């Protein structure tokens, strides 16, 4: 019988052989391997420096473009929204600085904000669908035909009818419109700020969004995207036009502008701007609103399916 000492000696011999092989192999290959590693390190270091230079150059270009837009933007947009009223729509993801800057630019363009509508998550929450449906049916204004479909689609159509005026006429009665907004606010579906004044109807709508959502979307997040696009479609149909705008990633597949552009028929009616957080994008937003007022539409920015950086200027 083979005893324990035999097994122990055999195991030690195997490990000694492995150790000798490793030593011999590294001794023989040390020169070529180290030379190859040094070459790879030098090449990677050079690539890193080149990429850092490219990134620095791109940042400089973006900064220059923003400075240029800041300098020429006010003159370029001056008077483009004269006599136009604009409803501002935001979501919980909308950057506050984007709201502030575009509010200022709309004023410089001669436009007047009628109020800010904030969409709250409960409006599009699938678990709140019955509450939304019951509320919509309870306060639907006279002479407003709501679409057949999900509760959120009917809700966005009712909000659009209450907050905008058609190209001809005044639309929904002011008291009925206020009743709709009050009911939606009491149910924590929206917030509406009109600076304390009476409700005013808007002829145009600007929907400001946030960046694209994470890769693994929850059902509630998907529903929020769909609700925003549904509201954009309803506002465009009721008023003179609507623009959806957000930061650059908003044009990704999971971004609100990207969702808009995925619908080819809607993208031909509702304008989208995917770089509204940059100087040129802010100018594009204002010009896109003016284009909507003239009956046009387009997709602008630098993201997927954009038609160009800026809308074509209006004919003199």
Window from 166-180, 199-213, 215-229 with minimum mean pLDDT: 215-229
Q: Which residue has the tokens 């009743």?
A: 179
pLDDT confidence of residue 197: 77
Mean pLDDT for the stretch of residues 38-63:
59
Angle between helices 96-108 and 4-77 (to 10 degrees): 20
139 and 32 fall within a common domain: no
230 and 89 fall within a common domain: yes
Whether the CB-CB separation of 279 and 67 falls below 8 Å is answered with yes
- Per-residue pLDDT reduced to its tens digit, 13-39: 555 656 655 555 555 555 666 666 666
6 and 120 fall within a common domain: no
What is the side-by-side order of every strand in the sheet holding 85-90?
190-193, 112-119, 85-90, 204-208, 241-245, 271-273, 299-300
pLDDT confidence of residue 246: 93
88 and 55 fall within a common domain: no
Q: Using the predicted structure, report yes or no on whether residue 153 has a pLDDT greater than 80.
A: yes
Check residues 220 and 269 and name the one with the higher pLDDT. 269
> 241: closest CA among 267, 204, 209?
204
pLDDT confidence of residue 14: 58
What's phi and psi for 230, nearest 5 deg?
Answer: -60, -40
Q: Is residue 305 helix, strand or coil?
A: coil
5 and 123 fall within a common domain: no
Specify which residues 192 forms β-bridges with. 117
- Domain tally, the chain: 2
Domain termination site, one of 54, 77, 100: 77
Domain-embedded: residue 23: yes
Q: Using the predicted structure, report yes or no on whether residue 66 has a pLDDT greater than 60.
A: no
DSSP state at residue 253: T
All residues at 6 or more sequence positions from 306 whose CB lies less than 8 Å from its CB, including other chains: 251, 272, 274, 299, 300
Check residues 272 and 71 and name the one with the higher pLDDT. 272
249 and 183 fall within a common domain: yes
- Per-residue pLDDT reduced to its tens digit, 78-97: 999 999 999 999 998 898 99
Alpha helices in the chain (DSSP H): 4-77, 96-108, 129-139, 151-163, 174-186, 219-238, 256-262, 264-267, 279-293
Domain-embedded: residue 260: yes
Q: Which residue has the tokens 């919980």?
A: 92
Domain-embedded: residue 316: no
94 and 121 fall within a common domain: yes
- Per-residue pLDDT reduced to its tens digit, 263-277: 989 999 999 999 999
Cα distance between residue 117 and residue 234, in whole Å: 14
pLDDT confidence of residue 64: 44
pLDDT confidence of residue 58: 45
pLDDT confidence of residue 61: 43
The domain in which residue 18 lies consists of 1-77
∠ at Cα 106 (193, 171), nearest 5°?
Answer: 55
Mean pLDDT for the stretch of residues 193-217:
85
Domain-embedded: residue 311: no
Domain-embedded: residue 314: no
165 and 285 fall within a common domain: yes
pLDDT confidence of residue 1: 44
Check residues 106 and 35 and name the one with the higher pLDDT. 106
68 and 97 fall within a common domain: no
Domain-embedded: residue 50: yes
53 and 127 fall within a common domain: no
Domain-embedded: residue 217: yes
Mean pLDDT for the stretch of residues 273-285:
93
Mean pLDDT for the stretch of residues 284-302:
96
Alpha helices in 164-245 (DSSP H): 174-186, 219-238
Q: What is the pTM of this model?
A: 0.78
Window from 106-120, 216-230, 257-271, 272-286 with minimum mean pLDDT: 216-230
Mean pLDDT for the stretch of residues 113-142:
94
pLDDT band at 142 (very low <50, low <70, confident <90, very high): confident
Mean pLDDT of the chain: 83
Mean pLDDT for the stretch of residues 131-143:
93
Q: Using the predicted structure, report yes or no on whether residue 207 has a pLDDT greater than 90.
A: yes
Mean pLDDT for the stretch of residues 109-117:
96
238 and 119 fall within a common domain: yes
Domain termination site, one of 77, 104, 139: 77
Domain termination site, one of 11, 43, 77: 77
213 and 273 fall within a common domain: yes
Domain-embedded: residue 305: no
Indicate which CATH number applies to the domain containing 168.
Answer: 3.40.50
């Amino acid at each position: 019988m083979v005893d324990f000492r035999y097994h122990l000696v055999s195991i030690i011999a195997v490990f000694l052989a492995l150790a000798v092989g490793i030593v011999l192999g590294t001794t023989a290959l040390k020169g070529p391997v180290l030379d190859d590693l040094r070459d790879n390190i030098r090449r990677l270091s050079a690539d890193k420096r080149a990429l850092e230079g490219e990134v620095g150059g791109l940042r400089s270009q973006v900064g220059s473009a923003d400075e240029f837009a800041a300098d020429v933007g006010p003159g370029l947009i001056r008077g483009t929204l004269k006599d136009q009223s604009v409803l501002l729509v935001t979501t919980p993801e909308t950057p506050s600085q984007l709201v502030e800057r575009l509010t200022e630019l709309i004023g410089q363009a001669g436009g007047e904000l009628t109020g800010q509508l904030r969409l709250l998550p409960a409006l599009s929450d699938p678990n709140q669908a019955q509450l939304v449906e019951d509320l919509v049916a309870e306060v639907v204004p006279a002479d407003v035909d709501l679409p057949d479909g999900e509760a959120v689609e009917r809700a966005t159509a009712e909000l659009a009818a209450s907050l905008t005026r058609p190209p001809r006429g005044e639309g929904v009665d002011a008291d009925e419109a206020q009743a709709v907004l009050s009911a939606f606010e009491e149910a924590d579906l929206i917030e509406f700020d009109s600076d304390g004044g009476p409700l005013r109807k808007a002829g145009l709508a600007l929907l400001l969004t946030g960046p694209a959502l994470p890769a693994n979307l929850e059902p509630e997040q998907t529903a929020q995207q769909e609700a925003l696009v549904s509201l954009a479609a309803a506002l465009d149909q009721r008023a003179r036009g609507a623009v959806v705008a957000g930061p650059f990633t908003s044009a990704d597949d999971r971004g609100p502008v990207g969702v808009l552009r995925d619908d080819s028929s809607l993208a031909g009616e509702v304008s989208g701007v995917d770089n509204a957080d940059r100087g040129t994008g802010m100018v594009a937003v204002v010009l896109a609103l003016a284009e909507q007022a003239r009956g046009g539409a387009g997709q602008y920015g630098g993201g997927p399916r954009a038609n160009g950086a800026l809308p074509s200027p209006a004919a003199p």
